[in-house]
Amino acid sequence: MKNRLLLSQLFFWITILALHAQPARRPVEVIVTADRDDWTYKPGEKVQFIISVLRNGNPVKNAQVRYEIGLEKLDPTIKETKTAANGTLTVDGGTLKTPGFLRCIAWATVDGVEFRGLATAGFDPSKIQPTVANPEDFDTFWDNAKKELAAVPMDAKMTLLPDRCTEKTNVYHLSLQNNRPGVRVYGILSVPKKEGKYPALLRVPGAGVRAYYGDVVTADKEIITLEIGIHGIPVIMDPSVYLDMGQGVLNGYPAYNLDDKDKFYYKRVYLGCVRANDFLTSLPQYDGKNLAVTGGSQGGALSIITAGLDPRVKWLGAFYPALSDVTGYLHGRAGGWPHYFDKNGVKTNNTKEKLNTVSYYDVVNFARRVKAPGLYMWGFNDETCPPTSMYAAYNVTTAPKELKLYLDTGHWTYSDERDAMNNWLVDKLKGK
């Protein structure tokens, strides 16, 4: 049992590192940058991209470079191959007439191995507006859903995990009843051992199927933490179970029942986040006022969604939110993960029923309703959650907000980024 637990912990941390860690450096790098420090332009202004091919930090002379330039996630409008005589090329990227992003992706082959780099130029991104519909009965739909949730007993079950406890914190495997009897939410709860009243932090997950270890580090700072899964299954099983489910029954779960807004997979997920807050705010150790939510990617989306649904949330921290302005592809630009309407999915998903469903679940429409101050972080080079889609939600958020850009990051974060987010959340929760 102990070996299985250790394997589960190892699997968890490998997954977290894969999702968030900076990619490892390679001996040959293709570095692409825009010709302005902030990579930002006004519509009509031209961008130039500088492509450098380096080996051990030195230019690779006469490197053959092929590059493509176009809107994120769409077919390129420029495709060329040139020789970088001194290891560097400057290429004309053109411009955009309206707010959006142009991306340059470059490849160089050195000693028979291909290397890749990219940069993305923003054109007045603060003016990007969403394409997704905002249903007139959006609030009614979710108010009714929350009423249905409130009518279901929470039936909380806590199992102490002694091997995970610290000197300061007790750690539990938690199970809650969700929006229907027999449908559960599972997570890892970490509670300070010392008697007192504490703020609470809900951590919501990125996409995938995995075990969870909880956030003991933050709990040791005298903050109650709860890290939840979204699939209604225990989160301390053997890693092989999650691998089998991710490749099997849960493969493609973001599109399950997309043609029915009442049966769509994410309805239970969104309500499960509210149910997690129900539990946190019911704890006798909770201080009664300080509650935050945070996550990245799918978790970034769920952070915004939870804050939009639940006024008990006082702060939110979101890394590169997914599920945002997913209809962008139908309007000539990139949409958010899981890319329902890109060239691979548009034939299947571009129906009246599915378009209706996504309007009730898109991050944009929750962002419109967020009241909690938020800290947001992402980069222009994200190829999973295109910046156009994220700005579409951010720009309609009227609550106090701050966006920290790490321009060159893709769907990953620097350790400094994660530290900045964690420090911000701790300071807010502890009234600093």
- Residue 391: burial class (beta carbons within 10 Å; 0-12, 13-18, 19+): buried
382 is an active site residue? yes
DSSP-based three-state secondary structure for 192: strand
Task: Give dist(CA 28, CA 314) in Å, integer.
Answer: 45
Query: Residue 339: which of 319, 325, 354 has the closest Cα?
Result: 325
Give me the catalytic one of 173, 231, 339, 411: 411
CA torsion, ordered 327, 330, 332, 337, to nearest 10 deg:
40
174 C-beta neighbours (distance < 10 Å), count? 24
Give me the catalytic one of 52, 190, 297, 324: 297
The DSSP result for 116-185, as a single string, is EEEEEEEESGGG----S---TTHHHHHHHHHHHHHTS----EEEE-GGG--SSEEEEEEEEE-SSTT-EE
Give me the catalytic one of 215, 287, 310, 382: 382
The DSSP result for 54-66, as a single string, is EETTEE-TTEEEE
**E-only strand ranges, 222-270:** 224-228
Task: Give dist(CA 31, CA 105) in Å, integer.
Answer: 10
331 is an active site residue? no
H-run or E-run covering 357? helix 352-361
Contact assessment for residue 125 and residue 393, using Cβ atoms and an 8 Å cutoff = no
139 is an active site residue? no
Q: Return all residues near 380 (Cβ < 8 A) that are at least 6 apart.
A: 39, 101, 119, 120, 121, 122, 387, 405, 407, 408
Show which residues are catalytic. Answer: 297, 382, 411
